[in-house]
Structure 1
Amino acid sequence: MISAQTLDPVFHLILDLSAHQPAPGVPARLRELFCELSETENADAAQEVEEVIWTLWTSHEDRDAEEIMAEAIEGMEVGALDAARILLDDLTERYPDWAEAWNRRATLCFIEKRDADCLADIERTLALEPRHFGAISDFGHVCLRHGHLNEARAAFQIALSINPHLEDLAEILEDLAPHTLMLH
Protein backbone atom coordinates (compact mmCIF):
# COMPACT_ATOMS: atom_id res chain seq x y z
CA MET A 1 0.00 0.00 0.00
CA ILE A 2 1.33 3.41 -0.99
CA SER A 3 0.93 5.96 1.79
CA ALA A 4 0.00 9.61 1.38
CA GLN A 5 3.53 10.47 2.55
CA THR A 6 4.97 8.47 -0.35
CA LEU A 7 2.69 10.31 -2.78
CA ASP A 8 3.46 13.76 -1.36
CA PRO A 9 6.62 14.69 -3.32
CA VAL A 10 5.05 13.89 -6.68
CA PHE A 11 1.67 15.29 -5.68
CA HIS A 12 3.19 18.63 -4.67
CA LEU A 13 5.17 18.73 -7.91
CA ILE A 14 1.93 18.20 -9.85
CA LEU A 15 0.11 20.88 -7.85
CA ASP A 16 2.93 23.33 -8.57
CA LEU A 17 3.57 22.51 -12.25
CA SER A 18 3.10 26.06 -13.43
CA ALA A 19 6.21 27.06 -11.47
CA HIS A 20 8.36 24.65 -13.48
CA GLN A 21 9.74 25.00 -16.99
CA PRO A 22 10.44 22.12 -19.37
CA ALA A 23 14.06 20.98 -19.51
CA PRO A 24 16.23 22.72 -22.14
CA GLY A 25 16.19 19.67 -24.43
CA VAL A 26 12.39 19.59 -24.72
CA PRO A 27 11.33 20.74 -28.22
CA ALA A 28 10.22 24.39 -28.19
CA ARG A 29 7.47 23.55 -30.68
CA LEU A 30 5.57 21.84 -27.87
CA ARG A 31 4.59 25.19 -26.39
CA GLU A 32 2.46 26.11 -29.42
CA LEU A 33 1.07 22.57 -29.63
CA PHE A 34 -0.10 22.67 -26.02
CA CYS A 35 -1.80 26.02 -26.67
CA GLU A 36 -3.49 24.59 -29.73
CA LEU A 37 -4.53 21.45 -27.82
CA SER A 38 -6.14 23.45 -25.04
CA GLU A 39 -7.90 25.87 -27.40
CA THR A 40 -9.31 23.58 -30.07
CA GLU A 41 -12.81 22.23 -29.65
CA ASN A 42 -12.63 19.98 -32.69
CA ALA A 43 -12.03 16.40 -31.53
CA ASP A 44 -10.28 15.33 -34.74
CA ALA A 45 -7.96 18.33 -34.67
CA ALA A 46 -7.22 17.71 -31.00
CA GLN A 47 -6.38 14.07 -31.75
CA GLU A 48 -3.94 15.15 -34.46
CA VAL A 49 -2.23 17.66 -32.15
CA GLU A 50 -2.00 15.07 -29.38
CA GLU A 51 -0.39 12.60 -31.79
CA VAL A 52 2.22 15.21 -32.77
CA ILE A 53 2.95 15.85 -29.08
CA TRP A 54 3.45 12.12 -28.46
CA THR A 55 5.64 11.88 -31.56
CA LEU A 56 7.83 14.73 -30.32
CA TRP A 57 8.03 13.19 -26.85
CA THR A 58 9.15 9.82 -28.23
CA SER A 59 11.57 11.39 -30.72
CA HIS A 60 15.25 11.73 -29.93
CA GLU A 61 18.22 13.18 -31.74
CA ASP A 62 19.98 9.82 -31.43
CA ARG A 63 18.43 7.43 -33.97
CA ASP A 64 19.52 4.40 -31.91
CA ALA A 65 17.67 5.78 -28.90
CA GLU A 66 14.49 6.15 -30.99
CA GLU A 67 14.80 2.57 -32.22
CA ILE A 68 15.28 1.26 -28.68
CA MET A 69 12.25 3.29 -27.55
CA ALA A 70 10.14 1.86 -30.38
CA GLU A 71 11.26 -1.66 -29.43
CA ALA A 72 10.43 -1.03 -25.75
CA ILE A 73 6.97 0.33 -26.62
CA GLU A 74 6.30 -2.66 -28.85
CA GLY A 75 7.49 -4.99 -26.09
CA MET A 76 5.03 -3.42 -23.66
CA GLU A 77 2.21 -3.73 -26.19
CA VAL A 78 2.82 -7.45 -26.75
CA GLY A 79 3.47 -8.27 -23.09
CA ALA A 80 7.25 -8.72 -23.32
CA LEU A 81 7.63 -6.73 -20.12
CA ASP A 82 11.01 -8.10 -19.05
CA ALA A 83 12.55 -7.18 -22.40
CA ALA A 84 10.89 -3.75 -22.31
CA ARG A 85 12.22 -3.15 -18.79
CA ILE A 86 15.80 -3.89 -19.88
CA LEU A 87 15.46 -1.47 -22.80
CA LEU A 88 13.87 1.29 -20.71
CA ASP A 89 16.43 0.88 -17.93
CA ASP A 90 19.11 1.33 -20.58
CA LEU A 91 17.42 4.42 -22.03
CA THR A 92 16.99 6.14 -18.67
CA GLU A 93 20.62 5.43 -17.82
CA ARG A 94 22.03 6.57 -21.17
CA TYR A 95 19.64 9.50 -21.70
CA PRO A 96 18.71 10.78 -18.22
CA ASP A 97 17.27 14.01 -19.67
CA TRP A 98 14.75 12.25 -21.95
CA ALA A 99 11.40 12.67 -20.22
CA GLU A 100 9.65 10.06 -22.35
CA ALA A 101 12.12 7.33 -21.38
CA TRP A 102 11.20 7.95 -17.74
CA ASN A 103 7.50 8.14 -18.58
CA ARG A 104 7.47 4.85 -20.46
CA ARG A 105 9.34 3.17 -17.64
CA ALA A 106 6.80 4.63 -15.18
CA THR A 107 4.02 3.13 -17.28
CA LEU A 108 5.77 -0.24 -17.26
CA CYS A 109 6.17 -0.03 -13.48
CA PHE A 110 2.45 0.73 -13.19
CA ILE A 111 1.58 -2.31 -15.32
CA GLU A 112 3.83 -4.43 -13.11
CA LYS A 113 2.26 -2.92 -9.96
CA ARG A 114 5.62 -1.56 -8.82
CA ASP A 115 4.01 1.68 -7.75
CA ALA A 116 6.86 3.14 -5.66
CA ASP A 117 9.15 2.81 -8.70
CA CYS A 118 6.37 4.22 -10.90
CA LEU A 119 6.09 7.31 -8.69
CA ALA A 120 9.85 7.91 -8.80
CA ASP A 121 9.81 7.76 -12.60
CA ILE A 122 6.76 10.02 -12.82
CA GLU A 123 8.56 12.54 -10.63
CA ARG A 124 11.58 12.45 -12.95
CA THR A 125 9.33 12.76 -16.03
CA LEU A 126 7.57 15.82 -14.63
CA ALA A 127 10.83 17.45 -13.56
CA LEU A 128 11.84 17.33 -17.23
CA GLU A 129 8.42 17.91 -18.86
CA PRO A 130 5.90 19.42 -16.42
CA ARG A 131 3.14 19.38 -19.08
CA HIS A 132 3.26 15.60 -19.44
CA PHE A 133 -0.44 14.81 -19.13
CA GLY A 134 0.30 11.08 -19.52
CA ALA A 135 2.55 11.02 -16.46
CA ILE A 136 0.07 13.09 -14.46
CA SER A 137 -2.70 10.70 -15.47
CA ASP A 138 -0.58 7.71 -14.44
CA PHE A 139 -0.05 9.35 -11.05
CA GLY A 140 -3.83 9.62 -10.71
CA HIS A 141 -4.20 5.92 -11.53
CA VAL A 142 -1.62 5.00 -8.87
CA CYS A 143 -3.61 7.10 -6.41
CA LEU A 144 -6.83 5.32 -7.38
CA ARG A 145 -5.24 1.91 -6.96
CA HIS A 146 -4.32 2.83 -3.39
CA GLY A 147 -7.55 4.59 -2.45
CA HIS A 148 -6.20 8.16 -2.47
CA LEU A 149 -9.25 9.61 -4.19
CA ASN A 150 -8.63 13.30 -3.53
CA GLU A 151 -5.13 13.10 -4.99
CA ALA A 152 -6.46 11.12 -7.97
CA ARG A 153 -9.18 13.71 -8.61
CA ALA A 154 -6.67 16.56 -8.45
CA ALA A 155 -4.24 14.80 -10.80
CA PHE A 156 -6.95 14.02 -13.33
CA GLN A 157 -8.21 17.62 -13.22
CA ILE A 158 -4.70 18.94 -13.82
CA ALA A 159 -4.12 16.48 -16.69
CA LEU A 160 -7.40 17.67 -18.20
CA SER A 161 -6.37 21.30 -17.80
CA ILE A 162 -3.37 20.49 -20.02
CA ASN A 163 -5.25 18.23 -22.42
CA PRO A 164 -9.01 18.75 -22.15
CA HIS A 165 -9.61 16.01 -24.71
CA LEU A 166 -8.79 13.07 -22.43
CA GLU A 167 -12.33 11.72 -22.40
CA ASP A 168 -11.48 8.67 -20.28
CA LEU A 169 -10.22 10.96 -17.51
CA ALA A 170 -13.34 13.09 -17.69
CA GLU A 171 -15.42 9.93 -17.22
CA ILE A 172 -13.28 8.79 -14.29
CA LEU A 173 -13.65 12.24 -12.71
CA GLU A 174 -17.41 12.04 -13.06
CA ASP A 175 -17.34 8.66 -11.30
CA LEU A 176 -15.13 10.15 -8.56
CA ALA A 177 -17.33 13.19 -7.99
CA PRO A 178 -18.27 13.38 -4.31
CA HIS A 179 -22.01 13.22 -5.05
CA THR A 180 -21.49 10.08 -7.16
CA LEU A 181 -19.41 8.35 -4.48
CA MET A 182 -22.09 8.94 -1.85
CA LEU A 183 -24.71 7.21 -3.98
CA HIS A 184 -22.77 3.95 -4.21
Structure 2
Amino acid sequence: MLKRLKIHFFIMSLSIVMAVSPATVFSQGLPELPPQEDPDSPPLSPEDMIPEKPSPDEALPDLGKDRNALQKKQAEIDRLLAVLKRTPDYKEAGKISRQIQGLWAQSGSDTIDLLMQWAEDAINEQDYAMALDFLDNVVALQPDYAEGWARRAAVHVQLNDLKLAMSDLKRSLELEPRNYNALFLVGSILEMTGRNKLALHAYEDALKIYPQMQRAQKHVADILEEQTGQAI
Protein backbone atom coordinates (compact mmCIF):
# COMPACT_ATOMS: atom_id res chain seq x y z
CA MET A 1 0.00 0.00 0.00
CA LEU A 2 2.77 2.42 0.95
CA LYS A 3 4.61 1.62 -2.29
CA ARG A 4 1.46 2.40 -4.31
CA LEU A 5 1.05 5.70 -2.47
CA LYS A 6 4.67 6.63 -3.23
CA ILE A 7 4.21 5.83 -6.93
CA HIS A 8 0.95 7.82 -6.98
CA PHE A 9 2.67 10.80 -5.37
CA PHE A 10 5.52 10.54 -7.86
CA ILE A 11 3.10 10.57 -10.83
CA MET A 12 1.07 13.44 -9.39
CA SER A 13 4.26 15.42 -8.76
CA LEU A 14 5.29 14.98 -12.37
CA SER A 15 1.92 16.27 -13.56
CA ILE A 16 2.35 19.62 -11.78
CA VAL A 17 5.78 20.40 -13.21
CA MET A 18 5.47 23.65 -15.13
CA ALA A 19 5.87 23.31 -18.88
CA VAL A 20 8.86 25.22 -20.21
CA SER A 21 9.58 25.55 -23.91
CA PRO A 22 12.80 24.00 -25.28
CA ALA A 23 13.83 27.42 -26.52
CA THR A 24 13.70 28.71 -22.95
CA VAL A 25 15.78 25.80 -21.69
CA PHE A 26 18.52 26.22 -24.28
CA SER A 27 18.64 30.02 -23.96
CA GLN A 28 19.57 29.87 -20.28
CA GLY A 29 22.95 31.29 -19.38
CA LEU A 30 24.92 28.56 -17.63
CA PRO A 31 27.62 29.17 -15.04
CA GLU A 32 30.66 26.95 -14.85
CA LEU A 33 30.60 24.06 -12.45
CA PRO A 34 32.59 24.50 -9.24
CA PRO A 35 35.97 22.74 -9.19
CA GLN A 36 35.71 19.06 -8.45
CA GLU A 37 37.03 18.02 -5.05
CA ASP A 38 38.20 14.80 -6.67
CA PRO A 39 39.48 15.40 -10.23
CA ASP A 40 39.20 11.66 -10.87
CA SER A 41 35.45 11.86 -10.18
CA PRO A 42 34.06 14.06 -13.00
CA PRO A 43 30.44 15.27 -13.12
CA LEU A 44 29.10 12.51 -15.39
CA SER A 45 29.43 8.78 -14.93
CA PRO A 46 30.36 6.51 -17.87
CA GLU A 47 26.71 5.39 -17.96
CA ASP A 48 25.62 9.00 -18.50
CA MET A 49 28.16 9.48 -21.30
CA ILE A 50 28.00 6.22 -23.25
CA PRO A 51 24.59 4.60 -23.78
CA GLU A 52 24.48 0.89 -23.05
CA LYS A 53 24.85 -1.27 -26.14
CA PRO A 54 22.85 -4.40 -27.01
CA SER A 55 24.26 -7.59 -25.52
CA PRO A 56 25.32 -10.46 -27.83
CA ASP A 57 21.93 -12.17 -27.40
CA GLU A 58 20.10 -8.94 -28.30
CA ALA A 59 21.12 -8.89 -31.94
CA LEU A 60 19.79 -6.01 -34.01
CA PRO A 61 17.66 -6.81 -37.06
CA ASP A 62 19.49 -7.11 -40.36
CA LEU A 63 18.15 -4.17 -42.33
CA GLY A 64 20.39 -4.76 -45.33
CA LYS A 65 22.47 -2.20 -47.17
CA ASP A 66 20.26 -1.35 -50.11
CA ARG A 67 18.83 2.07 -50.80
CA ASN A 68 15.85 1.30 -48.58
CA ALA A 69 18.01 0.43 -45.56
CA LEU A 70 17.68 3.91 -44.02
CA GLN A 71 13.89 3.81 -44.31
CA LYS A 72 13.82 0.32 -42.77
CA LYS A 73 16.04 1.51 -39.93
CA GLN A 74 13.80 4.50 -39.21
CA ALA A 75 10.70 2.32 -39.31
CA GLU A 76 12.27 -0.10 -36.83
CA ILE A 77 13.28 2.76 -34.51
CA ASP A 78 9.72 4.12 -34.67
CA ARG A 79 8.34 0.67 -33.84
CA LEU A 80 10.71 0.12 -30.92
CA LEU A 81 10.04 3.58 -29.46
CA ALA A 82 6.30 2.88 -29.56
CA VAL A 83 6.87 -0.43 -27.74
CA LEU A 84 9.23 1.24 -25.24
CA LYS A 85 6.57 3.78 -24.30
CA ARG A 86 4.03 1.12 -23.32
CA THR A 87 6.34 -1.47 -21.74
CA PRO A 88 5.68 -1.65 -17.96
CA ASP A 89 8.56 -3.99 -17.05
CA TYR A 90 11.80 -2.07 -16.55
CA LYS A 91 14.02 -5.01 -17.54
CA GLU A 92 12.19 -5.53 -20.82
CA ALA A 93 12.20 -1.77 -21.39
CA GLY A 94 15.96 -1.74 -20.82
CA LYS A 95 16.41 -4.39 -23.50
CA ILE A 96 14.32 -2.37 -25.95
CA SER A 97 16.26 0.77 -25.08
CA ARG A 98 19.56 -0.98 -25.82
CA GLN A 99 18.21 -2.03 -29.24
CA ILE A 100 17.18 1.55 -29.97
CA GLN A 101 20.59 2.80 -28.90
CA GLY A 102 22.21 0.25 -31.17
CA LEU A 103 20.23 1.51 -34.14
CA TRP A 104 20.82 5.17 -33.30
CA ALA A 105 24.54 4.43 -33.06
CA GLN A 106 24.66 3.13 -36.65
CA SER A 107 26.13 5.99 -38.64
CA GLY A 108 26.28 4.23 -42.00
CA SER A 109 29.97 5.09 -42.27
CA ASP A 110 32.87 2.86 -41.27
CA THR A 111 35.02 5.95 -40.68
CA ILE A 112 32.48 7.54 -38.33
CA ASP A 113 31.95 4.25 -36.48
CA LEU A 114 35.71 3.95 -35.95
CA LEU A 115 36.02 7.53 -34.70
CA MET A 116 33.13 6.94 -32.30
CA GLN A 117 34.81 3.80 -30.97
CA TRP A 118 38.10 5.67 -30.48
CA ALA A 119 36.21 8.43 -28.68
CA GLU A 120 34.51 5.86 -26.45
CA ASP A 121 37.87 4.29 -25.61
CA ALA A 122 39.27 7.72 -24.72
CA ILE A 123 36.23 8.47 -22.53
CA ASN A 124 36.69 5.19 -20.68
CA GLU A 125 40.32 6.18 -20.06
CA GLN A 126 39.14 9.67 -18.95
CA ASP A 127 41.20 11.26 -21.73
CA TYR A 128 38.50 13.79 -22.58
CA ALA A 129 40.74 16.03 -24.67
CA MET A 130 41.50 13.10 -26.97
CA ALA A 131 37.83 12.10 -27.07
CA LEU A 132 36.95 15.67 -28.05
CA ASP A 133 39.41 15.57 -30.96
CA PHE A 134 37.76 12.42 -32.34
CA LEU A 135 34.24 13.79 -31.87
CA ASP A 136 35.12 17.11 -33.50
CA ASN A 137 35.93 15.05 -36.59
CA VAL A 138 32.70 13.07 -36.28
CA VAL A 139 30.42 16.13 -36.33
CA ALA A 140 32.49 17.78 -39.07
CA LEU A 141 32.37 14.73 -41.33
CA GLN A 142 28.74 13.79 -40.63
CA PRO A 143 26.82 16.77 -39.22
CA ASP A 144 23.45 14.99 -39.52
CA TYR A 145 24.54 12.20 -37.12
CA ALA A 146 22.70 12.99 -33.89
CA GLU A 147 24.74 10.61 -31.72
CA GLY A 148 27.96 12.43 -32.53
CA TRP A 149 26.59 15.71 -31.18
CA ALA A 150 25.17 14.04 -28.06
CA ARG A 151 28.43 12.26 -27.30
CA ARG A 152 30.46 15.43 -27.77
CA ALA A 153 28.07 17.28 -25.45
CA ALA A 154 28.86 14.80 -22.69
CA VAL A 155 32.59 15.37 -23.17
CA HIS A 156 32.05 19.15 -22.99
CA VAL A 157 30.40 18.63 -19.60
CA GLN A 158 33.42 16.72 -18.33
CA LEU A 159 35.61 19.59 -19.55
CA ASN A 160 33.31 22.12 -17.78
CA ASP A 161 32.15 23.84 -20.95
CA LEU A 162 28.41 23.75 -20.33
CA LYS A 163 27.46 26.31 -22.97
CA LEU A 164 29.04 24.22 -25.71
CA ALA A 165 27.43 21.11 -24.20
CA MET A 166 23.97 22.67 -24.40
CA SER A 167 24.64 23.89 -27.93
CA ASP A 168 25.56 20.35 -29.02
CA LEU A 169 22.51 18.90 -27.27
CA LYS A 170 20.28 21.41 -29.02
CA ARG A 171 21.65 20.22 -32.37
CA SER A 172 21.33 16.56 -31.40
CA LEU A 173 17.70 16.99 -30.39
CA GLU A 174 16.92 18.90 -33.56
CA LEU A 175 18.08 15.82 -35.46
CA GLU A 176 16.37 13.29 -33.14
CA PRO A 177 13.88 14.90 -30.70
CA ARG A 178 13.12 11.52 -29.11
CA ASN A 179 16.66 10.93 -27.86
CA TYR A 180 15.83 10.40 -24.19
CA ASN A 181 19.52 10.16 -23.25
CA ALA A 182 20.13 13.64 -24.70
CA LEU A 183 17.11 14.94 -22.78
CA PHE A 184 18.45 13.32 -19.61
CA LEU A 185 21.79 15.06 -20.17
CA VAL A 186 20.01 18.40 -20.59
CA GLY A 187 18.32 17.76 -17.26
CA SER A 188 21.62 16.81 -15.64
CA ILE A 189 23.30 20.04 -16.75
CA LEU A 190 20.39 22.14 -15.55
CA GLU A 191 20.33 20.31 -12.22
CA MET A 192 24.09 20.72 -11.79
CA THR A 193 23.68 24.48 -12.16
CA GLY A 194 20.74 24.81 -9.78
CA ARG A 195 17.97 25.13 -12.37
CA ASN A 196 15.89 22.35 -10.86
CA LYS A 197 12.52 23.44 -12.26
CA LEU A 198 13.91 23.35 -15.80
CA ALA A 199 15.72 20.10 -15.02
CA LEU A 200 12.41 18.52 -13.98
CA HIS A 201 10.92 19.49 -17.31
CA ALA A 202 13.79 17.87 -19.22
CA TYR A 203 13.59 14.68 -17.15
CA GLU A 204 9.82 14.62 -17.63
CA ASP A 205 10.29 14.87 -21.41
CA ALA A 206 12.69 11.91 -21.29
CA LEU A 207 10.17 9.89 -19.25
CA LYS A 208 7.40 10.59 -21.76
CA ILE A 209 9.49 8.68 -24.29
CA TYR A 210 11.03 6.09 -21.94
CA PRO A 211 8.74 5.83 -18.88
CA GLN A 212 10.88 3.12 -17.24
CA MET A 213 14.10 5.15 -17.44
CA GLN A 214 15.26 4.62 -13.87
CA ARG A 215 17.99 7.26 -13.90
CA ALA A 216 15.47 9.95 -14.84
CA GLN A 217 12.96 8.64 -12.29
CA LYS A 218 15.57 8.86 -9.54
CA HIS A 219 16.60 12.41 -10.39
CA VAL A 220 12.96 13.54 -10.48
CA ALA A 221 12.28 11.85 -7.15
CA ASP A 222 15.38 13.43 -5.57
CA ILE A 223 14.48 16.92 -6.76
CA LEU A 224 10.87 16.60 -5.62
CA GLU A 225 11.96 15.23 -2.27
CA GLU A 226 14.30 18.18 -1.82
CA GLN A 227 11.51 20.61 -2.76
CA THR A 228 8.77 19.05 -0.65
CA GLY A 229 10.77 17.51 2.18
CA GLN A 230 8.83 14.30 1.66
CA ALA A 231 10.36 10.97 0.68
CA ILE A 232 9.24 9.72 -2.70
- The TM-score normalised by the length of structure 2 is 0.67
Provide the aligned length of Structure 1 versus Structure 2.
Answer: 167
Select the structure that is richer in helix. Answer: 1
- 2:111 corresponds in structure 1 to 64
Rg: which structure is higher? 2
* Contact 1:10 1:119 (C-alpha < 8 Å) held by counterparts: no
Counterpart selection for 1:83 from 123, 126, 130 = 130
Query: 1:58, 1:37 → 2: CA distance?
Result: 17
- 1:25-57: CA deviation from partner (whole Å, max 9, x where unpaired): 873321111011111122222111111111111
Among 197, 210, 215, the residue aligned to 1:163: 210
Q: Which is further off, 62-71 or 127-136?
A: 62-71
Match of 2:184 in 1: 137
Partner of 1:16: none
Q: For 2:218 and 2:160, how far apart are their aligned partners in 1?
A: 23
Among all aligned residue pairs of Structure 1 and Structure 2, give the percentage whose two residues are the same amino acid: 23
5+ residue gaps, structure 1, are 1-6, 14-23
Is the CA contact (8 Å cut-off) linking 2:26 and 2:170 kept in structure 1?
no
| Cross-structure match for 1:150 | 197
Deviation at 1:8, TM superposition (A): 6.3
1:128 corresponds, among 175, 183, 188, to: 175
In the TM superposition, what is the alpha-carbon distance from 1:169 to its structure 2 partner?
1.4
Q: Distance in 1 between matches of 2:24 and 2:189?
A: 11
- Tell me which residue corresponds to 1:183: 229
CA deviation profile, 1:88-107 (whole Å, cap 9, x unmatched): 00000010000000000011
* 1:106 and 2:153 matched: yes
For 1:27, the aligned partner's letter is Q
- Structure 1 pair 176–111 and aligned structure 2 pair: CA distance change class (3 A): same
For the 8 Å contact 1:102–1:121, the answer to whether it is kept is yes
Task: Give the aligned residue type for 1:183.
Answer: G
Taking the aligned partners of 2:229 and 2:86, their CA distance within structure 1 comes to: 34
Unpaired segments ≥5 residues, structure 2 = 1-20, 28-69
Give the RMSD, CA atoms, in angstroms: 2.2
> How far apart are 1:12 and its partner, in Å?
6.9
State whether structure 2 residue 99 is matched by structure 1 residue 52: yes
**Residue aligning to 1:11:** 25
TM-score norm. by structure 1 comes to 0.83
- After TM superposition, the runs of 4+ consecutive aligned structure 1 residues lying more than 4 A away are none
